[in-house]
Structure formats: C-alpha cells, structure tokens
Amino acid sequence: MAVLILLPAVITFLLRSNAALAFLAMCGGYAAASLSGSNIQHLVDQTKITSLTSNNVELALLALPLLLTLLFSFRSAGTTAARVIALIPALCAGGLLAAIAAPTFSDIVSTNIIDTAAWKELKNIQSFIIGAGLLSSLLIVWAGGLSHGHTHGKKHK
C-alpha cells in the first residue's frame, strides 16, 4: 500500500511532472469508472478474454490517466519549489489510488489489504485526501495559468 501512495510522488519528483494535472486526470478516470460500472461489466462480458475482469478495467481507468499525465507532463515543473509543492497533489493522488485500488489488489496478492489498520485509516481520511488534493491541484493550475501573461525575451519596437 505504501508503494501505491508513494509512487506518484516519486514519479512527480524524478520526472518534474505536473502532479496537479495528474490528480485531476485520476479523478476524471475515477468518475468515468464509477459512472460506467454496469457498462464496463457488459463490455467485459462481451469479450472472450478470460483474464480480463471489470476490476481490471476500473483499475486501468483509475491508474492510466494518472500515470500517463505524469509521463506526458515530463519536465513541466521547473523550479525546486514547484517540484516540492507538486508533492502535495502527488501524495494525495497516491493516497486516493491506494484507498480505491486496495480491494482490487487484495484479489491479486495473497495478503488481505482491506483488513489492515492502515487501509481502514486511509478510508477514514479519504475525504480529506480528496479535498486537499483537489484544492492543491486547483491552486497550482490557477497559479500557473495566471503567470502566462509574461513575455520572455526582448521586446521589439
């Protein structure tokens, strides 16, 4: 579970990625998975792939937008201060990923993650994680959007 929580933060710091956009992308993936649950199950039933389950598809809808956004926004956080501030939504994304994906991983690994005290505590603070991640992501996006009015280089007459 610690790997799920820390993975987005490590990727964000090493790649200097935009964790704010990644958190928002993961929330979009979670909304898509939540709102289309019966459609996902129907789609999985239509395929003849026996190893594919609706849990796998929902996990992909949750994790892929997060990971792809972190990869595609490579080197978007330039300064060290921006990289440190980006750790807030990255840790929130990891916490949310762990809280949502733990039941799926309990099926994959032999350990029952959802019976641990750490996962129960994570579920208790899930609302705080979402709120902090959303607020920090929006503040980072808004601050970045407001600073684009500056021009760089020489001005020509």
Task: Using only the alpha carbons of the chain, give its radius of gyration.
Answer: 18
pTM of the model: 0.79
Any idea what the Cα angle at residue 38 is, between residues 129 and 93, rounded to 5°? 15
Residue ranges per structural domain of the chain: 2-146
pLDDT digits (tens, 9 = 90+) for 24-59: 999 998 898 888 877 877 777 787 777 777 777 788
* pLDDT tens sequence across 69-108: 989 988 776 677 777 888 899 999 999 988 888 877 766 6
CA of 109: how far to CAs of 45, 68, 104, 116, 157, in Å?
Answer: 24, 25, 9, 14, 66
